[in-house]
Structure 1
Amino acid sequence: MNLYLTDKLFLVGGATSGFGKAITEQLVAEGAKVIAVARTESKLKDLQDKSNDIEIVATDLSEESALDKVLDQIGNRVLTGAVINSGGPPAMPVMDTKLSDWDEAYKTVVRWKIALTQALLPKMMDNGYGRLLYIESVSTKQPVENLVLSNAMRLAVTGYVKTLSQEIGSSGVTLNILGPGYHATQRMENLFAKNSQLKGISEAEIRKTFSEQTAVKKIGNPDDFASLALWLLSPHSGYITGQTITIDGGLVKGTMG
């Protein structure tokens, strides 16, 4: 299938690892141009070495200064789409959280996404076209154990995206959320380690337990995840907006999963 992404410009957050890296690499393979954003410049340069179609911005998207850096890099060019993605808050159970943890989680999961969306949206609406794709979590449909900060804050993003998609539905700009389940990413490794510590069993046992929670009995591949992301970033997805789609190997048991 031709995704019609050749020479189109995309912004990808969290581009040096996990889902962001997989999406960046597949966009470039489809002929697109990518502004890759991540915190570590050395990792960004390693990514850039793979393609002349990758530009880099080393910044933490949750910091207020990041927005100006990203907008400066885009300049007056037409941005076709953006993958709004970064790491999540630390793993912990409810009773271990402090109010300061909640304040920080709002900053790292919610606030910057709203700011970036509001900055990118007017020009996309003027152009009559745009694709905004938010990478959240399966916790938008079903809570993940010991991830209360992520469970709560990602639902706030879901409410924001759904409301906005209704308000601008006829603009040509779509907004959708992908909710990954258990995939082979560093974020998942951190969760395995945290659960191992809390439960006093090995990380291998934790990994097996998580795998067995899915219908397919295995951990997902970020490259497979990225293939759906690319379709949602393409013109083919124009009739899909305001949706939260979980990619979870059958983890969510509810019929609306």
Structure 2
Amino acid sequence: MDLQLDNKLFLVGGATSGLGRAITAALISEGAQVIAVARTESKLKELQKTSGKIEIVVGNLSEELVLEKIQVQIGDRILTGAVINSGGPPAMPVLDTKLSDWDEAYKSVVRWKIALTQALLPKLLEQNYGRLLYIESVSVKQPVENLVLSNSMRLAIVGYVKTLSQEIGTSGVTLNILGPGYHATQRMENLFKKNSELKGVSEAEIRSTFAKQTATGRIGKPQDFASLAIWLLSPHSQYITGQTISVDGGLVKGAMG
């Protein structure tokens, strides 16, 4: 299928690792131009060497200055879409959390995504076209053990995206959420390590336990996730908005998963 992404401009957050990097690679393979955003300049420059179609912005997406740098980078060009993605809060059970952890989780999961959306939306509405794709977690459908901060805060983004999609539904701008399950990323490796420490068993055993929770019996590849992401970023997804879709190998057991 021709996804009609050739020479289209996209913004991708968290572009140097995990799911963000996989989405960036998939967009480039379709001929798109990508503004890649991440905190580490050396990793961004390494990524940029893989394609002449990658531009970079160094910084933390939660900082206002970085949002300004992104808007300058886009300039007067048509922005086709954005992948709103970044790492999540640390893994911990409920009883280990402090109020300061919740304050930081709001900043790292919720606040910057709303700020970035508000920064990009006027341009997309003026164009009468755009694709906003938020990368959250399968935890918005089914809580993940020892991830209470993520389980809770990411649901706020679901409510925000659903509400906004209803308000601007006729504009040509769509907003959707992908909820990744267990994929082979550093984020998952950190979770395996945390659970290994809490339960006193090997990381290999934890990894096997997580894989067995899925219907497919395996941990997903980032490329599995990216294949759906780039379709949702394409014109083919014009009748899908306000949706939260799990990409989880059948991890969620509920009928609405």
* TM value normalised by structure 1: 0.99
Counterparts of 1:166 and 1:46, CA distance in 2: 40
> What amino acid does structure 1 have at the position aligned with 2:234?
S
Which residue number in structure 1 is paired with residue 180 of structure 2? 180
Give the structure 2 partner of residue 120 of structure 1: 120
Corresponding residue for residue 44 of structure 1: 44
Q: Are 2:150 and 1:138 equivalent residues in the alignment?
A: no
Residues 156-177 of structure 1: CA deviation (Å, up to 9, x unaligned): 0000000000000000000000
1:174 partner SS: strand
- Give yes or no for the alignment of 1:233 onto 2:233: yes
Cross-structure match for 1:72:
72
Deviations 1:30-52 (A, max 9, x none): 00000000000000000000111
1:161 and 1:182 mapped to 2: Cα distance?
Answer: 23
| 1:224 and 2:219 are equivalent in the alignment | no
Alpha-carbon offset, residue 64 of structure 1: 2.4
In 2, Cα distance between the equivalents of 1:62 and 1:195?
A: 28
Post-superposition Cα deviations, 1:145-190, rounded to whole Å, max 9, x if no partner, equal: 0000000000000000000000000000000000000000000000
3-state SS of paired residue (1:184) = coil
Whole-angstrom CA distance in 2 between matches of 1:253 and 1:114: 30
Runs of at least 5 residues in structure 1 that lack an aligned partner in the other structure: none
Q: Which amino acid aligns with 2:237?
A: S
Counterpart of 1:9, as a letter, is: L
- Count of matched residue positions in the alignment of Structure 1 and Structure 2: 257
SS of equivalent to 1:116: helix
Mapped partners of 1:213, 1:65: distance in 2: 41
Aligned ranges 1:75-86 → 2 under 5 Å: 75-86=75-86
Q: Map Cα deviations across residues 117-138 of structure 1 (whole Å, 9 max, x no partner).
A: 0111111111110000000000
Distance (whole Å) between structure 2 residues aligned to residue 73 and residue 110 of structure 1: 23
Matches within 5 A, 1:69-108: 69-108=69-108
Instruction: Give the aligned partner of residue 212 of structure 1.
Output: 212
Q: Distance in 2 between matches of 1:95 and 1:254?
A: 27
Q: 1:210-233 CA deviation, whole Å, 9 max, x = no partner?
A: 001001110001001100000000
CA deviation map 1:26-73 (0-9, x unaligned)? 101100000000000000000000111000011011222221111111
1:11 to 2:11 alignment: yes
Q: Where does residue 35 of structure 1 map in the other structure?
A: 35
Residue 162 of structure 2 corresponds to 162
Superposed CA RMSD in Å reads 0.5
1:113 offset after TM fit, Å?
Answer: 0.3
Gaps (5+ residues) in structure 2? none
Aligned with 2:170: secondary structure?
helix
How far apart, in 2, do the equivalents of 1:156 and 1:85 lie? 15
Shift of 1:76: 1.2
Structure 1: 4+ residue segments shifted above 2 A: none
Structure 1: distance between partners of 2:64 and 2:96: 28
Match for 1:125: what amino acid? L
Structure 2 counterpart of 1:188, which letter?
Answer: M
